[in-house]
Each structure stands twice: as structure tokens, then as C-alpha cells.
Amino acid sequence: MESVKLGAMTLLNRIVMAPMTRNRAQPGNVAGINAATYYAQRASAGLIVTESIQVSPAGQSYPATPGLHSEAQVKGWRTVARSVHAAGGLIVAQLCHGGRISHPLIQPGGATPLAPSAIKPDGQIFGPDWKKHDYVKPEALDEAGIAAIIAEFAAAAENARAAGFDGVEIHAGNGYLIDQFLCEGSNRRDDAYGGAPENRVRFLAEVAEAVSNVMGADRTGVRVSPWNAFNDMSDSAPEKLFPVAGKALARFGLAYLHVIEPVGTKKPLARKIADTAQTKLIVNSGYDGKTAIKALESGGADAVSFAKHFIANPDLPSRLAWDLPLAEADRATYYGGGGKGYTDYPAYQPDEPIEPAEPVEPAEPPEPVESGSPE
């Protein structure tokens, strides 16, 4: 497959492993040896984006998710990065703060989760007891709290460098803290971080600047989800908001923008946002081999990321290149547990040699579907 350069990173192919929460961190929220095996098995991806990694204890959203704010966590991720590199792959750490998508049962000392505004999200969340609990009304951050979280992102980026990651991805989508600042449904502030889109993108820009100063902008990506209502998110005009976000990021010279935008979206924004940010584009959500080829050949994307297909197909790039059957993942083992449904999916084993598939014309995109990733 054709290679592509994203900032300082040269991908051997344009198939990216998307971030997926798997809830298998060890005590202390450490990525264990099973995570090293899991990611190394999928090192044939042009780039691996890790599951969401909380930048601080207060940034945690779900049970058994890994962090990057302690020495033990850095050591665990160092083993992961070395394993992926030994298998010939590239891996970036996705840095995240959950904001209001958390619960006092998860927060240090039973604290109230933090958010741009004191707006309770609808729905429930899994606690450390693996039972569902109603969300609580979060506490609105003051400017000192905002500055402290920006510093936590920078510290996590420093830890990512120490762990040997090839880069970092800032998670600014799917209803977590940065997305909460972006969207008006969760941001009712009347200061420099609220109101007009130019203000609501400020927190994202300041996080990107802090992380880029540590990791290097050419090794920093950003993920956004303009159309995603996950985690009770809403905005009346994403088509106006997200190009403003792209413009705010343009001055950094980022490695890429990673946009969750379902295949077949009637008014696609992904390329416009990336062009405004003056960077390369990774697209995600609902792609298969044919629609990925169409997006790449048409210039609609520079790379395509896959989530659930990478769970059951550790050799996904080869399967797509040779038009081989894809295994189906067991949804019952998506979250939590051990190696079952995590490290036990095999690479394709043909009964006899496989001849290359005949070239086919790309099919029309199907109706939009979810990527299967909660991230």
C-alpha cells in the first residue's frame, strides 16, 4: 500500500488503527503486558492510535482505563511502544481528559467532575463497581483550573516522549472535556472561553500549543467529531464552529487532523476542517475497504482509520489489500476482561496460496454507520 507522511512520521500504509477503549488497564491504571501484545499484533497498521489515556487522575472517565501521569504508567507504556517498534510499527498516545463524563466514584477523593459549565449530561456511566450510575452535575472550571489542566496535558506529552511514543493525539471529540468547551450545548460560559466560536475553540488551541511545545507540532495530531452526539453533545452550527477550530490550529503546523465523520455524510466537513488547519486528514467512521479506497483516491482523505475491524483482524491492512474475508469481533468481550477477545484473534490463515484480487471500481458509499468505537 502507498505510504504517506504525517508531519515527522512516515506511515508505510494509509490504514490507521483508531483509538478504542478496552478497559483492560492493570492496577494503578497501568498498561500491562497484555496491552503490549495487543498493540504489537496490530503493528502492520500505518499508524496505531492508542486507546484514550487520561492525563490526570481527575481526567478518568471509566474503570480500568490507562493513564500517563505516573512513573509506573510511563514504564508500562514504554513496554508497549518498544513492542510495537520491534514489530515495525508506529504508535501515538491519545491524550484525553473526560471532564463531566465521569463520576465521584471514579474521581480522586470522591470529587465532583470538572467541566466548562455546570451542566449535567443525560444518561449513566459505569462506575468502578461495573454498575451504571446517573451522571452528576459537574463543577464549572475557573481560569486557574483551566490552566492547571493545560499543564496536565503538557506533562502527559512529556511522559509520552519518555515512554518512546512516536507522537501524541489530542482527543477533542466524543463529548470529553475539550469537546465540551467546543460545543455550545455543554459550554455556557461568558468569559474568554465561551460564547462565540472563536472563544470556545480557545481551550483546544491552548492545549495544542502546550502539547506541541513538548512533543513537537509535527508529531502532534488532533481528533474531533463534528457530528457526534455521543455523551449528550450538541451544537447548533458545527459547520461554522469546526472550521474556526481548524483556523485556530493552523499556526502550529500539526501532523494531522483525525475527523470522525460517518461515510456518506450529506454535508461533509472533514476535508474543509483539515485544509483550514493546513494539515493532513485522517477520516473515521463506517469505512470498509472499498469506501476507504474511494476516499483516498478522490483526495477526500490522506489516511483512513478503522476501529472495530482491528479488534478481530490484527492483520487488517493485509486483509484489505488482498480483499480477504474479515473476522467479526465478539461484542461481549469489547470491554474489560483478559486476553479473550483481546489478544487471541489470529491473523488470516489461508488453506492455500491466495492470488491477488482483481481490481474493482470503488462502490458508492453505504448509509452512515457508527465506527463501533466509544472513543
295 near 311, Cβ under 8 Å? no
CB 106 within 8 A of CB 126: no
Yes or no: say if 282 and 301 are a contact pair by the CB < 8 Å rule. Answer: yes
Of 147, 56, 43, nearest in space to 95 by CA: 56
DSSP label at 265? -
* Residues annotated as catalytic (active site), given as ranges: 176
C-alpha span between 182 and 320 (Å, rounded) = 35
Q: Give the 3-state secondary structure of residue 170.
A: strand
Q: From residue 195, give the alpha-carbon distance in Å to each of 120, 128, 143, 241, 283.
A: 19, 35, 15, 11, 28
Residue 55, C-alpha cell as written in the block: 492525563
Sorted by sequence, the CB contacts under 8 Å of residue 144 that are 6+ apart come out as none
d(CA 279, CA 372): 26
Return the residue matching grid coordinates 469537546: 179
Q: What pairs with residue 134 in β-bridges?
A: 124
DSSP state of 312: H
Distance CA 226, CA 206 (A): 19
Q: Other CB atoms closer than 10 Å to residue 332's CB: what's the count?
A: 9
274, three cell numbers:
483539515
Per 3-state DSSP, the chain is made up of helix, strand and coil in percentages (nearest 5) of: 35, 15, 50
- Reference 254, options 92, 96, 98; nearest CA is 92
CA atoms of 217 and 27, how far apart (whole Å) = 32
Using CA atoms, how far apart are residues 60 and 101, in angstroms rounded to an integer?
Answer: 8
- Beta pairing partners, 15: 304
